């Protein structure tokens, strides 16, 4: 009765701790929506920020917010759309100029259809008005920028004085207006712009300046004035500007999501880095995080992990007590993420230990012949080893995105065609793919840990046999009986290699000799170390003890040579 009671208690508590561990929303390479929801609890939502932009006469930026909210079907989107439509009907210019009185007076107060800023500035009349407005500016960066129109050795743009100089003048107009109206951050519009312009005017390479102008011009092809001003207002340096310009070119229909993420978070560098780390899924995760407001979006950027929204756990947590514990744990995952992850792993470890203890309780009682072989406390060591293996298996099965390869894309190759005076031979640039990825590393780690656990289990069994209350000769026979256990590392190694090759042949995983043969290699190494450095000395000691107990040690007296029988 005590054994069955112990089995029930350990089994129930073990399963309960396993469920608790699964319900803690802390992961190594992912962040769950409940944590973002907790982070965005008291922060402005996308719709609230859009309404604030409408009240501030920033209708262009509010329109991008409304498009993102409509795409994600956020609550309150209808209210934002109605407020935007009402204000745009009363003040059409706000949709383009964002209530900027200087630009409204410069380009005329009449109603205009929203159009990209670069397309607007390409027109000769608008460009002349913009350049005249910049000539009247007193800002040093703007004055220096206008002097670059006299450059004749440009790299990316044709010179302003050439027949195709409209593109350079358009880029200067866009950048100059942003700087003159105070829409460039201090790092981008003050320090960096002034330094790049000064170097170009001194005769140094104008390529860095032209790259910055081209990035602004590229963004101007996708945003009107109000949207572009809001988008670039917190970009800290030309590097982030270039990243965001490339990402905007590739955003397609998700451009409102990129715009809303940059403006709502106020962290353009973090958005650019996140999309560089996850170019395939980054925009989708940013779009999903918009429902959690500015705080949830910032938490996703701070974690630099993919967003995990499991439909199964959403169904499970809809019912108490699972839901109550899940959201209670989500609060700690937001405030103390490292401690929450440690608690999750501790739940798994204790669960494995209790489940192993439950199996120990239901083992049949040993016979009277086997009682001398029982050593107190060694079953605890085996249960700890089972718990460690259980922890590893549960982590591999439950952690999202653990084995997925990196999404980072390499910097695209940029060709620079040489002139006739600097001819170079053509060559091939070969990409050398890395032979290591997350899946291979995870496979190596799995095989190594499993072989390590078997190695420790063999050490525990060897120590147990040493302490059993039987004669040394019996211990030697017991060691012989455990040969299959001591060779278990080799068996597991062969099985791992065979399974890996089968999965490769079926196309489930990519071929990798390192991953396939690492299982056997680790098995050979661990078994050799155990048998040479542990099992062999233990057997030698037991042989000497057995001979000492028998009183007939097989030794030779000094000076006596051994004799050998010769065949007759």
Q: What is the mean pLDDT of each run of 10 residues along the chain (568 residues)?
A: 86 95 93 93 94 94 95 94 93 87 79 79 92 91 92 92 92 94 87 90 92 95 94 94 95 95 96 94 95 95 91 83 92 94 96 93 76 79 92 90 64 40 40 56 84 93 90 91 92 87 72 76 93 94 88 52 52
| 198 within 8 A of 140, measured Cβ to Cβ | no
Q: Pull the structure tokens for residue 167.
A: 């593109």
Give the DSSP H or E segment for 160.
none
Cα–Cα distance for residue pair 76/254, rounded to 1 Å:
20
Cα–Cα distance for residue pair 451/522, rounded to 1 Å:
7
Which residues, in sequence order, are CB contacts of 545 under 8 Å at separation 6+?
A: 472
Give CA separation, 566 vs 381, 561, 563, in Å. 54, 16, 9
Nearest C-alpha neighbor of 243 from the set 211, 205, 220: 211
| Domain assignments of the chain as residue spans, ordered by start | 100-252
Give the DSSP H or E segment for 177.
helix 166-180
CA dihedral 293, 294, 295, 297 (to 10 degrees): 90
Q: Pull the structure tokens for residue 475.
A: 């211990």
pTM > 0.85: yes or no: no
Cα–Cα distance for residue pair 250/59, rounded to 1 Å:
24
Q: What is the pLDDT of residue 20?
A: 95
Cα–Cα distance for residue pair 443/527, rounded to 1 Å:
19
Q: What is the pLDDT of residue 519?
A: 84
Nearest C-alpha neighbor of 63 from the set 120, 118, 115: 115
Nearest C-alpha neighbor of 297 from the set 262, 332, 326: 262
| Farthest CA pair distance, the chain | 128
Q: What is the DSSP string of 197-264?
A: HHHHHTTS--HHHHHHHHHHHHHHTT--HHHHHHHHTT--SHHHHHHHHHHHHHHGGGHHHHHHHHHH
Give me the sign of the Cα torsion angle 532, 538, 541, 546: negative
Cα–Cα distance for residue pair 304/272, rounded to 1 Å:
11
Cα–Cα distance for residue pair 127/109, rounded to 1 Å:
17
Rounded (5°) CA angle 60-64-68: 165
Tell me whether strands 30-32 and 306-308 are parallel, antiparallel or unpaired: parallel
Q: What is the DSSP string of 395-413?
A: HHHHSTTSSPPP-PPPPPP
Cα–Cα distance for residue pair 515/522, rounded to 1 Å:
11
Nearest C-alpha neighbor of 88 from the set 79, 78, 99: 99
| 399 within 8 A of 310, measured Cβ to Cβ | no
Give me the sign of the Cα torsion angle 383, 387, 388, 393: positive
Cα–Cα distance for residue pair 366/379, rounded to 1 Å:
14
Characterize 495-531 residue by residue with b for buried, 16 or more Cβ atoms within 10 angstroms of its Cβ, and e for exposed.
ebbeebeeebeeeebeebeebbbbbbbbbeebbeebb
What DSSP character marks residue 91? -
Q: What is the pLDDT of residue 518?
A: 84
Cis peptide before 259 (omega within 30 of 0): no
Cα–Cα distance for residue pair 106/128, rounded to 1 Å:
11
| 46 within 8 A of 65, measured Cβ to Cβ | yes
Length of the chain: 568
**Ramachandran bin of 429, using left for φ above 0, alpha for ψ from -120 to 50, beta for the remaining angles:** beta
| 187 within 8 A of 237, measured Cβ to Cβ | yes
Q: Pull the structure tokens for residue 479.
A: 């060691």
| 544 within 8 A of 552, measured Cβ to Cβ | no
Cα–Cα distance for residue pair 555/149, rounded to 1 Å:
103
Give CA separation, 329 vs 26, 31, 79, 231, 492, in Å. 9, 13, 34, 36, 38
| 148 within 8 A of 201, measured Cβ to Cβ | yes
**Ramachandran bin of 535, using left for φ above 0, alpha for ψ from -120 to 50, beta for the remaining angles:** alpha
């Amino acid at each position: 009765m005590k054994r069955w009671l112990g089995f029930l208690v350990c089994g129930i508590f073990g399963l309960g701790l396993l469920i608790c561990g699964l319900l803690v929303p802390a992961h190594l390479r992912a962040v769950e929506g409940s944590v973002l929801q907790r982070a965005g609890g008291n922060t402005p939502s996308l719709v609230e920020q859009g309404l604030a932009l409408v009240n501030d006469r920033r209708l262009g930026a509010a329109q991008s917010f409304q498009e993102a909210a409509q795409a994600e079907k956020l609550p309150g989107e209808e209210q934002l759309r109605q407020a935007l439509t009402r204000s745009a009907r009363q003040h059409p210019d706000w949709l383009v100029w964002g209530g900027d009185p200087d630009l409204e007076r410069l380009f005329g107060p009449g109603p205009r259809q929203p159009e990209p800023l670069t397309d607007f500035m390409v027109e000769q009349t608008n460009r002349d008005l913009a350049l005249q407005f910049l000539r009247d500016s007193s800002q040093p960066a703007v004055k220096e920028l206008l002097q670059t129109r006299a450059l004749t050795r440009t790299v990316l743009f044709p010179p302003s004085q050439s027949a195709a100089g409209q593109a350079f003048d358009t880029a200067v107009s866009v950048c100059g207006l942003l700087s003159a109206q105070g829409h460039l951050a201090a790092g981008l519009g003050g320090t960096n712009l002034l330094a790049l312009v000064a170097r170009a005017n001194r005769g140094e390479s104008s390529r860095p300046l032209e790259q910055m102008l081209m990035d602004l011009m590229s963004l101007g092809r996708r945003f009107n004035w109000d949207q572009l001003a809001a988008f670039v207002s917190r970009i800290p340096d030309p590097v982030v500007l270039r990243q965001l310009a490339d990402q905007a070119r590739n955003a397609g229909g998700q451009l409102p999501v990129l715009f809303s993420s940059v403006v709502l978070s106020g962290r353009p560098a973090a958005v650019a880095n996140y999309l560089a780390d996850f170019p395939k899924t980054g925009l989708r995760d940013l779009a999903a995080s918009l429902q959690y407001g500015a705080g949830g979006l910032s938490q996703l950027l701070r974690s630099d992990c993919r967003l995990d929204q499991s439909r199964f756990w959403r169904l499970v947590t809809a019912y108490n007590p699972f839901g109550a514990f899940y959201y209670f744990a989500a609060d700690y995952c937001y405030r103390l993420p490292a401690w929450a992850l440690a608690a999750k792993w501790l739940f798994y470890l204790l669960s494995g230990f209790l489940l192993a203890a439950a199996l120990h309780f239901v083992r049949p009682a040993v016979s009277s012949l086997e009682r001398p072989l029982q050593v107190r406390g060694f079953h605890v060591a085996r249960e700890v080893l089972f718990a460690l293996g259980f922890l590893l298996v549960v982590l591999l099965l439950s952690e999202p995105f653990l084995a997925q390869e990196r999404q980072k894309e390499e910097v695209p190759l940029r060709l620079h065609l040489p002139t006739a005076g600097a001819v170079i031979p053509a060559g091939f640039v070969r990409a050398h793919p890395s032979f290591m990825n997350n899946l291979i590393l995870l496979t190596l780690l799995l095989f190594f840990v499993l072989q390590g656990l078997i190695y420790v289990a063999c050490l525990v069994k060897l120590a147990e046999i040493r302490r059993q209350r039987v004669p040394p000769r019996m211990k030697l026979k017991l060691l012989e009986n455990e040969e299959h256990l001591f060779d278990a590392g080799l068996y597991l190694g062969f099985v791992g290699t065979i399974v890996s090759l089968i999965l490769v042949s079926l196309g489930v995983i990519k071929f990798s000799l390192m991953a396939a043969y690492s299982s056997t290699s680790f098995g050979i190494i661990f078994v050799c170390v155990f048998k040479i450095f542990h099992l062999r000395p233990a057997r030698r000691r037991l042989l000497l003890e057995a001979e000492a107990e028998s009183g007939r040690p097989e030794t030779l007296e000094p000076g006596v040579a051994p004799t050998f029988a010769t065949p007759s």
